[in-house]
Structure 1
Amino acid sequence: MNIKNEDGDTIVDRIERQYLQRVAVKRFIFAETDDEWQILASIHHRLMKVFTTGLPSHRLNSDWQMTRPGPCSKNAPEYTLAVLKALTLALESRYEAVDDEILMLLVSLLPRVSTTFAPPIPGPVVYLFKHGCGDLRLSDKVIVNETRGLISAYGTTGFRTWEAALALGELLVDSTCLTDPISVEGKRVLELGAGTGFLSILTAKIGAAKVFSTDGFEDIVLQINECIAENFDDDTVLETMIYKWGLLSSEETYTFSHPVDLIIGADIVIDFCLLCVYM
């Protein structure tokens, strides 16, 4: 079968993005057609880089190659093992050979994964985004800590990035599809119910002059501060604070260090009509 480079790049890119975003293994899409499965069988060895370093393998410029993988660059061994098992089983069910290095990595992870149950703890999730022209740059990623299970056990839904935040993030990066495009460049932005801080960090990376990342839970705000440190070496744009915006009495006020040009929020109310009540 004649395999085009761009076909292989597309498949690898899709798998890498799912892996970095810790998509549930049962929802993981390795390939969708017979042709794609044949291509994957030939090039799945290229996934070793993302499995071992947490860095994508292609479409990157030199900035990425100089990145030293840190604690928020690699997924937990339990998740990596689950993905490797699913990939291996899928290939073998189609009578395709599995790359030796992939198999060796799978075997090496087995002793490191506990079979006893433990409550999930926040782990690194990497979101890639394309801002501007050219190849992906070092800044074109957002690293956050998320807990994908037992959401209600924490008394808040703020420990994971929800689909509404991802959708809003796509619009903030490129809103040319809108009649009235949104731009955060040079603006002072307030995020309500920031949760993992994904949107706050994203807006800072795409040009906001100042970003106030707020949430009503102290533990979440502390975690946002940790994520800010993972994404920026020296940040003066982002400022965090505890802000219970929906529970203020008429006498309570919050003072921000700068006036705000734009307020954003994703999945912060269960009914759009409630916005007029809370705001």
Structure 2
Amino acid sequence: MAATPAVADDGREERPTLRLVQAQFMAMVPLRFFRWKLPIEQVQPPTPSQARTLLHHVSLPNCWGVRTSVLDGEDKGKAVFELEDQQELLQMTVHHPLIMRYPTSLSYRQAFLKHIIQQCEDAGQEVCDELYEVYTSLLVSTLEPTSPCCYKTYTLPCGKTVVLREATQIISHGTTGLRTWEAGLCLAEWAVEHSALFEQKTVLELGSGMGLTGLVISSCCSPAHYIYSDCHPNVLANLWENLVLNCKLREEGGGSVNGSKMSVMCLDWASVTQEELQSLAPDVIIASDVVFDNELVEYFVSLLLKAMHPPPGGRSGPVAYVASTIRNQDTYDFYVRKLEEAGICSEDLSLGSTAVFFYDRQQTMKIHKLWISDEIR
């Protein structure tokens, strides 16, 4: 939800390759998935004003026209940069003002620079002294205590950025909710392409985690009211910090604060009542990456049944959009069966056609539209 910070116009146009690398570095894309170049025939050249924008993402459809298939290809290129580009790359990544203030993890910065140096040396390309110096200083920093958290910066199609404080470990404080997962990124991409479904609506998100999907929808889709929910105390505390952080950055960037109302609530799936859910009056319910455990699936389907039941007064019940990464087919089949038993109708939706975020797209993902069947109504 943060606005892109202002940057001085020095008259230079940044190369698309450098901005591609910058966007991935800021979002801490694993180096094994890193894309160091784009096929030139697949890229529409940006205008000068777009090229000077600090954090324009390579996948902005009005700037790049990058299709998902381009990012799925095998040729990821190599991290070989000329001397002038090496210095500029340092300023756009490790020394970027946002990174200096909200840094990616120390180990990630070390691995990133080590990879660039190694690739340049292997190709016989001279490496600038500053690159060596910065890398050495980061190695010395290893002697300092390692933070359990880091920051990831995501660039949105609407030109804004989202900065999230996340855990560096997959499981932290007994929960996986302190990190952003692929299904959340997938759902956020899809929501941007279907923004009319959320415009001026009350949106209830189940299992909001660190808030990425909600911040994207609030920034790009203009909901009237966005309700974030989770039940783990550490997740809720970090979620709240991320919302405050992005509101603060938005104000510093000089843009007006988004008009959407935002709320954060503790929502226990096992104990929440139908009356409590209906009092929120959601028009749309969303969730991502919640289908990975049979017991959790049962709670989730029961919750959906309560939340989507038409409220008194003749108003129709909300629809739900759920994104899932299918890691275990048996668990997913159990989820589908429970939906059918509950009388919840399901429709497979096409995934977003334009890549907004970088993540492993080889995984099997699905987005379902859910609603209550006529028999239940």
Same fold (TM over 0.5): yes
Alignment correspondent of 1:27:
33
Tell me whether 1:48 sits opposite 2:90 in the alignment.
yes
The one-letter amino acid of 2:141's match is R
CA spacing shift, 1:35–1:45, aligned 2, 3 Å: farther
Partners of 2:246 and 2:239 lie apart in 1 by 11
Check the 8 A contact 1:54/1:75 in 2, yes or no: no
Deviation at 1:82, TM superposition (A): 1.7
Tell me whether 1:15 sits opposite 2:21 in the alignment.
yes
Deviation at 1:256, TM superposition (A): 7.4
Check the 8 A contact 1:216/1:243 in 2, yes or no: yes
Task: Pick from 251, 266, 271 the counterpart of residue 248 of structure 1.
Answer: 271
Q: Which moved more, 1:228-237 or 1:34-43?
A: 34-43
Partners of 1:190 and 1:35 lie apart in 2 by 38
Alignment correspondent of 2:261:
237
How many residues get paired?
244
Check the 8 A contact 1:214/1:242 in 2, yes or no: yes
Alignment correspondent of 1:183:
197
CA spacing shift, 1:75–1:252, aligned 2, 3 Å: same
Check the 8 A contact 2:154/2:161 in 1, yes or no: yes
Deviation at 1:37, TM superposition (A): 4.8
Task: Pick from 96, 116, 123 the counterpart of residue 150 of structure 2.
Answer: 123
Query: What do the CA deviations read for 1:69-102 (whole angstroms, capped 9, x no partner)?
Result: 4876322333212210111111111111122322
Check the 8 A contact 1:161/1:196 in 2, yes or no: yes
Alignment correspondent of 2:105:
76
TM-score (norm 2): 0.57
Secondary structure at the counterpart of residue 123 of structure 1: strand
Deviation at 1:150, TM superposition (A): 4.0
Task: Pick from 242, 247, 267 the counterpart of residue 289 of structure 2.
Answer: 267
Alignment correspondent of 2:136:
107
Structure 1: stretches of 5+ with no match in the other structure: 56-68, 176-180
Larger relative contact order (Cα-Cα within 8 Å, sequence gap ≥ 6):
2
Check the 8 A contact 2:205/2:228 in 1, yes or no: yes
The one-letter amino acid of 1:265's match is A
Query: What do the CA deviations read for 1:33-63 (whole angstroms, capped 9, x no partner)?
Result: 99965973352322112334445xxxxxxxx
Check the 8 A contact 1:187/1:261 in 2, yes or no: yes
The one-letter amino acid of 2:173's match is Y
Task: Pick from 173, 176, 180 the counterpart of residue 192 of structure 2.
Answer: 173
Check the 8 A contact 1:12/1:44 in 2, yes or no: no
Partners of 2:224 and 2:341 lie apart in 1 by 29
Check the 8 A contact 1:54/1:73 in 2, yes or no: no
Structure 2: stretches of 5+ with no match in the other structure: 1-11, 40-74, 249-256, 293-331, 345-377
Deviation at 1:21, TM superposition (A): 1.1
Alignment correspondent of 2:224:
209
Deviation at 1:195, TM superposition (A): 0.9
Partners of 2:186 and 2:31 lie apart in 1 by 21
Deviation at 1:183, TM superposition (A): 2.8
Q: Percent identity?
A: 23
CA spacing shift, 1:277–1:216, aligned 2, 3 Å: farther
Query: What do the CA deviations read for 1:114-145 (whole angstroms, capped 9, x no partner)?
Result: 388x6x612111111112xxxx3xxx111112
Partners of 1:73 and 1:92 lie apart in 2 by 30
Partners of 1:244 and 1:36 lie apart in 2 by 46
Deviation at 1:20, TM superposition (A): 0.8
CA spacing shift, 1:81–1:31, aligned 2, 3 Å: same
Task: Pick from 167, 172, 193 the counterpart of residue 147 of structure 1.
Answer: 167
The one-letter amino acid of 2:190's match is L
Deviation at 1:214, TM superposition (A): 0.5
Deviation at 1:192, TM superposition (A): 0.4
